[in-house]
Amino acid sequence: MAITIFGLLLVTFLIARVMPIDPVLAVVGDRAPADVYEKARLDLGLDKPLWTQFAIYIAKVFTGDLGTSVLTAQKVTDDIKTVFPATLELATLGTLIGAVFGVPFGIFAATHQGRWPDQVARIVGLLGYSIPVFWLGLMGLLLFYAKLGWVAGPGRLSIAYQDFVDPITGIVMLDAALQGEWDAVRDAFSHLILPASVLGILSIAYISRMTRSFLINELQQQYVIAARVKGVPEWRVVWGHALRNAVVPLVTVIALSYMHLLEGSVLTETIFAWPGLGRYITNSLLNADMNAVLGGTLVVGAVFIAVNLFSDIIGRLADPRAR
Amino acid sequence: MSDTSVSDRSGWRDWLMSTSPASRRQARLGQFYRQWLAFRSNPSAMIGLVIVVALLLIAAAAPLVASQDPLVQDLPQRLQPPSWAHLFGTDALGRDIFSRVVYGTRVTLVIVLLVVITVGPIGLLIGCAAGYLGGWVDTVLMRITDVFLAFPRLVLALAFVAALGPGLENAVIAIAFTAWPPYARVARAETMVIRNADYISAIQLQGASQGRIVWKHVVPMCMPSLIVRTTLDMAGIILTAAGLGFLGLGAQPPIPEWGAMISAGREQIFDQWWVATFPGLAICVVALGFNLLGDGLRDVMDAR
Amino acid sequence: MRHVAKLMAVSAFAGLMTTTAVFAQTPKDTVVMAKQIDDIITLDPAEAFEFSGVEVGANVYDKLIGVDLANGNKLIGELAESWTVSPDQLTYTFKLRPNVKFHSGNALTAADVVYSIQRAVTLNKSPGFILTQFGLNKDTVLEKVKAPDANTVVITVSQPFAPTFFLNCLTSGVAAVVDSKLVKANEKDGDWGNAWLKLNSAGSGAYKVRSYRPNEQYALDANESWYKGAPKAKRIIVRHVAEPASQRLLLEKGDVDMARNLSKDQLASVKDNKDVEIVQGDKGYILYLGLNQKNPNLAKPEVREALKWLVDYAAIEKNIVEGTYKAHESFLPNGFLGAIGDKPYKFDLAKGKELLAKAGLANGFTVTMDTRSVNPITDIAQAIQSTWGQAGVKLELIPGDGKQTLTKYRARTHDIYIGQWGPDYLDPHTNAETFAINENNGEDAKSKTLAWRNAWDIPEMTKKTQANVLESDAAKRAAVYGDIQREHQKVSPFVIMFQQVEVTAERKNIKGWVIGPSSDTNFYWTISKG
């Protein structure tokens, strides 16, 4: 686990350092005279050998110091405290939408296996895998924001509400609710719903397909046949018996889909001007802002490991053989 | 088969469906034929096949299908809405979007094919080596795989492109670099099963070298699941390539790459919707085609 | 079970769709702008050198001297009530305006002015050279900049520079006066308060920084006791909106009062909107191509000239950048001392081909251009690619992010670079220096001007340009700059194409916004909201 994270940091470090982007530019800009430039280069420690630079960084990470971002002039830990909840908010609602639509969709397909509803479900599910998310986001903005005016545009809050909501958890809707600013909650929701739906469509595809195959698997089991023979109503067979047994893999799948949304939100965040983790990493990368890139990567790696661990534990807890 | 007047056609069919094939070739062809029958009965897979074949035809006949040179600018005619002269309208430099979408099929195909021929062997090699050799080789290789899996794919590709410089070839290399881990995992899982099979032990006893066993016996057994995996992955490759193009780091302008075309239309999205809409639709259709095809192939070839 | 699924789907979908958005109008005394502000590195006036950061400084800090926008950018006193120049042009004496207070309530005295200059010179960040070029450095600054009494500041420069040159430099952001007591209180490890000032303000200007979140927004509150009188708008909120299309929508829906970065097509479509009007101002930014002289083809004089004839300036202006750029072919922007309006080049395919043939390249050649993946740069590059192609010059575009193309340009490994250059301060020397001075064309050069970046070795022009900063007669100085530019147009490896026009689209109830010639002169205090 620690090795994975270490490897992740190493790979990130190497890639970011071989990129032909001068990190000093982000500090001093294009116009700086030679002496100013040189001073900034030394301040960043860029005169030291690559391995030394990496060793210094790792040593600092152990003391909980992720360094300062050049771009935002803030501690990377502080930056992450603001960008991570933004992504979390987006991915959580996205996964929720994915699960609420995806699971029934998958069940529907499984109970009509091979017939036309299954074919339709299959095509719709695969469509979710086939739409470029940035395009879907643009089309969503065009239709629901510009033409119909049903939702609010890019960003997390309308400008009028910007200063009313103080960050407590970093999740705007929650913060607004805690402070009793119900208008701000509504506003935040109308900003959130479109990007979350765009992400949700990706996760509907994944969750519905997985639900279908798990359920088909369960429906072929002996106990289902037995229940049917005993005359248990079909809806109870499906919802009561088969689904209950498919819950464990399903939870794992939803957790995995959550992780994909967390890291897959780079383009969605770009389209919707959402100040989240994906955009933070990308932006830092293109500015060779090393501390920020590494810090962001560390968070992604930690999430990856946490989700894997979580699904392992769930799997073990629920597996009767393991119990 | 109750027809007694044996025509050539049903003769072939009997030969293919024979349960006691006389030769290896007959057996193999027979298997193909059965798979084809199963595939044909799956409507969504057939839709996928039709789309992919259409893509190939359009790419091959692009100069005939397109109404104009996709690169020729006509500034006074910029941002014209769709009409008979310009089926999909024109872009900000007055180029015909329909022709650009048509020529874009070539770009897409080139990317997909190049990625596939790069990534398949890498994944196969790493996966088979890890699965067959086991021990510390397995541990090290799988750790590396984990590292690459934990990284957001697009960000990784972006970093590679930034490091290598933009352009189609580099985009392909970058995507291949990020796409191999799942292949390695699939190949490893397959190999672990095969490794313990009796016939492998038999070959080992005959004293075959490890390299030979992996190459001659393990790799071929992994192929079917890898082919399925590849077809299913093509849509993902198309989307990643388009994402890179969208972020301005894929193909070089003025190449009609669909992602870059969407990106160019972003500024006009609220007024000239057609600039971004049509290339996006093209991506959807093609990606869906590959997905449907791959899904159908999986049902047929990969019963597990 | 079908019913359940259907019901769930329908109700969730309905919930999703009935989320009607609340579109709040902006508050009455608050002016909200949508603007690209992700270029801000810092708000510290001694360090800020990017357009948006400098603009914040212009509204938060006061300087000794300013320019009168309504009166041909004439120099006027701001914190300095008056000033005198010694006959040898080495000593400047400034009399300060009495009773000026900082936002903190501290009185602004000559000691603050000395501290501010000392601070900028000692920190010597990116814009530091604007002051150090007059012979100030961290060891001598306290000898050269003195406060004989609380209302007087005396500055001694190292050479008899043209007074307009020195005074113009004092109008730039790096010469802003900071609250020395407040800054000292927030100093950390001898950093002159740099870390704190990155995100906060310690000024005396029309506004003070209320909050700043990088890449998101900054909010400014009015300084009710400003020496020129309280600003009309009580609060200014500037929100980062990257997409011009989004900026336009926010403006049309009334979510913002002003949109600062609309592109040509956005402008064309808001023109028809009754609630919106457009304000324009010439900016000093020059859009040009730099042809690297290390490339043997580009080093041929005929090729340089041919490429200038092969750009379709008129078509690009009309179709791609109308309203946001205008044709301009010399290195001094309109509005600067010595600027000329000469436009010797227009699109002429035959002439271009003829020159290429003379250079022995009748069949053309292949060359690359590093191009930022942003508009209008990409579109302009593709338009150039098309017309050059007609003459056989095969232009390959290498797209990249801003920092990426810039890194390559600075290392002189490009063939052609397409980019913008903006003046550092309001004196012609800023652009003359970068476009027409190259002291040392070697890799070890200390001063890496644009001429150096394109490996253009010009000892004669360098001397002539350098001598001109000592010319005290403004008219003569202007005439010499005219000569240099005409020569430059003929021989230089710079294809200068356009000058930027900054445009703001604002709601009709916004009045008084004037766009200055640089970010240092974009003032918010004149804005009011009816």
pLDDT for C70-80, tens place per residue? Answer: 887 788 999 99
Indicate the pLDDT class of residue B261, thresholds 50, 70 and 90.
very high
Q: Which residues of chain A lie closer than 8 angstroms to C447, CB-CB? A: 33-34
Mean pLDDT of chain A: 83
Indicate the pLDDT class of residue A319, thresholds 50, 70 and 90.
low
Residue of B nearest to A121 (CA): B44
pLDDT for C2-57, tens place per residue? Answer: 444 444 444 444 443 333 333 445 678 899 999 998 888 889 999 998 889 999 99
Q: What number is the average pLDDT over the span A132-140?
A: 92
Indicate the pLDDT class of residue A263, thresholds 50, 70 and 90.
low
| H-helix or E-strand spanning residue A76 | helix A76-111
Task: Report pLDDT for B9.
Answer: 63
Indicate the pLDDT class of residue A120, thresholds 50, 70 and 90.
confident
- Whether pLDDT at C63 is above 90: yes
pLDDT for B102-154, tens place per residue? Answer: 999 999 999 888 888 888 888 888 888 888 888 888 888 888 888 887 777 77
Indicate the pLDDT class of residue C290, thresholds 50, 70 and 90.
very high
- Whether pLDDT at B304 is above 60: no
Boundaries of every domain in chain C: 1-35+207-274, 39-205, 283-502
Kindly state which CATH superfamily the domain C283-502 is placed in. Answer: Dipeptide-binding Protein; Domain 3 (3.10.105.10)
Task: Report pLDDT for A2.
Answer: 76
Q: Which residues of chain B lie closer than 8 angstroms to A282, CB-CB? A: 155, 158, 247
Q: Which residues of chain C lie closer than 8 angstroms to B164, CB-CB? A: none
Kindly state which CATH superfamily the domain C39-205 is placed in. Answer: Dipeptide-binding Protein; Domain 1 (3.90.76.10)
Task: Report pLDDT for C7.
Answer: 42
Task: Report pLDDT for C11.
Answer: 42
Single out the residue of A267, A75, A93, A256 nearest to residue A174, CA to CA.
A93
Q: Before C376, cis peptide (omega within 30)?
A: yes
Helices and strands counted in chain A (H then E): 15, 0
**Exposure letters C365-381 (e unless 16+ CB within 10 A, then b):** bebbbbbbbebbbbbbb
More confident residue, C526 or B301: C526
- Whether pLDDT at C143 is above 90: yes
ipTM for this model? 0.84
Q: Which residues of chain B lie closer than 8 angstroms to C261, CB-CB? A: none
Mean pLDDT is lowest, of A224-228, A237-241, B299-303, C408-412, for: B299-303
Q: What number is the average pLDDT over the span B196-216?
A: 79
What amino acid occupies position C471? E
Mean pLDDT is lowest, of A308-312, B287-291, C394-398, for: A308-312
Indicate the pLDDT class of residue A96, thresholds 50, 70 and 90.
very high
Q: Does B38 contact chain A (CB < 8 Å)? A: no
Cα–Cα distance, C526 to C231 (Å, whole number)? 7
- In the CATH scheme, what is the code of domain C1-35+207-274? 3.40.190.10
Cα–Cα distance, B187 to B179 (Å, whole number)? 14
Query: Do B224 and B302 form a contact (C-beta atoms < 8 A)?
Result: yes
Query: Do B148 and B209 form a contact (C-beta atoms < 8 A)?
Result: no
Single out the residue of B58, B57, B95 nearest to residue B76, CA to CA.
B95
Q: C509: which 2 tokens?
A: 């109830």
- Whether pLDDT at A276 is above 50: yes
DSSP A225-246: HHHHHTT--HHHIIIIIIHHHH
Q: Before C148, cis peptide (omega within 30)?
A: no
Indicate the pLDDT class of residue C309, thresholds 50, 70 and 90.
very high
Query: Do C230 and C528 form a contact (C-beta atoms < 8 A)?
Result: no
Q: How many interface pairs between A and C have CB atoms less than 8 angstroms apart?
A: 161
pLDDT for B65-85, tens place per residue? Answer: 888 899 989 888 888 899 998
Q: Does A113 contact chain B (CB < 8 Å)? A: no
pLDDT for C84-128, tens place per residue? Answer: 999 999 999 999 999 999 999 999 999 999 999 999 999 988 888
Mean pLDDT of chain C: 90
The rounded Cα B248 to chain-centroid distance in angstroms is 22
**Exposure letters C195-232 (e unless 16+ CB within 10 A, then b):** bbbbbbbbbbbbbbbbebbbbbbbbbbbbeebbeeebb
Report the number of distinct structural domains present in chain B.
Answer: 1
pLDDT for C295-304, tens place per residue? Answer: 999 999 999 9
The vertex-A78 CA angle with A193 and A255, nearest 5°, equals: 45
Max intra-chain CA distance, chain C = 97
What amino acid occupies position C6? K
Q: Which residues of chain A lie closer than 8 angstroms to B153, CB-CB? A: 263-264
Task: Report pLDDT for C54.
Answer: 93
Q: Which residues pair with C369 in a beta bridge?
A: C397, C416
Query: Do A213 and A221 form a contact (C-beta atoms < 8 A)?
Result: no
Single out the residue of C136, C197, C194 nearest to residue C170, CA to CA.
C136
Contact B151 A266 (CB under 8 A): no
- In three-state secondary structure terms, B240 is helix
Task: Report pLDDT for A115.
Answer: 80
C500 φ, ψ to 5°?
-75, 145
Cα–Cα distance, C106 to A32 (Å, whole number)? 33
Task: Report pLDDT for A299.
Answer: 87
Cα–Cα distance, B137 to C29 (Å, whole number)? 68
Question: To the nearest whole percent, how much of chain C has pLDDT over 90?
Answer: 69
Task: Report pLDDT for A264.
Answer: 66
Alpha helices (H) along C359-473: 377-390, 402-410, 429-436, 450-453, 459-467
Mean pLDDT is lowest, of A79-93, A220-234, C228-242, for: A220-234
Question: To the nearest whole percent, how much of chain C has pLDDT over 70?
Answer: 95
Task: Report pLDDT for A318.
Answer: 65
Q: To probe the interface with C, which of B77, B247, B257, B267 has the most C CB atoms within 10 Å?
A: B267
Task: Report pLDDT for C14.
Answer: 41
Task: Report pLDDT for B302.
Answer: 59
Query: Do B96 and B70 form a contact (C-beta atoms < 8 A)?
Result: yes
Indicate the pLDDT class of residue B4, thresholds 50, 70 and 90.
very low
More confident residue, B161 or C158: C158
Interface of C with A in 235-294 (CB under 8 A): 237, 239-243, 246, 249-250, 253, 255-256
Q: C428: which 2 tokens?
A: 């012609």
The residue segments making up the domain with residue B71 are 45-301
- Whether pLDDT at B6 is above 70: no
- Give how far Cα C41 sits from Cα of C50, C102, C491, Å: 7, 24, 37
| H-helix or E-strand spanning residue C219 | strand C217-222
Q: Which ranges in chain A are annotated with CATH 1.10.3720.10?
A: 76-322
Task: Report pLDDT for A160.
Answer: 67
B142: closest CA of chain A, how far (Å) = 10
At the top level of CATH, the class of A76-322 is mainly alpha
Q: To probe the interface with A, which of C41, C249, C449 has the most A CB atoms within 10 Å?
A: C41
Alpha helices (H) along chain B: 8-17, 24-40, 43-60, 62-65, 97-133, 135-150, 153-164, 168-195, 198-205, 210-213, 219-246, 258-265, 274-301
Task: Report pLDDT for C9.
Answer: 44
Task: Report pLDDT for C21.
Answer: 39
Single out the residue of C72, C39, C44, C71 nearest to residue C260, CA to CA.
C39
Q: Which residues of chain A lie closer than 8 angstroms to C20, CB-CB? A: 149-150, 190
Indicate the pLDDT class of residue A256, thresholds 50, 70 and 90.
confident
Closest partner residue to B93 (CB to CB) among C269, C374, C382 is C382
- Whether pLDDT at C339 is above 70: yes
Residue B39 in any domain: the answer is no
Q: Does A4 contact chain B (CB < 8 Å)? A: yes
Q: What number is the average pLDDT over the span B290-296?
A: 88
Contact C22 A158 (CB under 8 A): yes
A258: closest CA of chain C, how far (Å) = 20
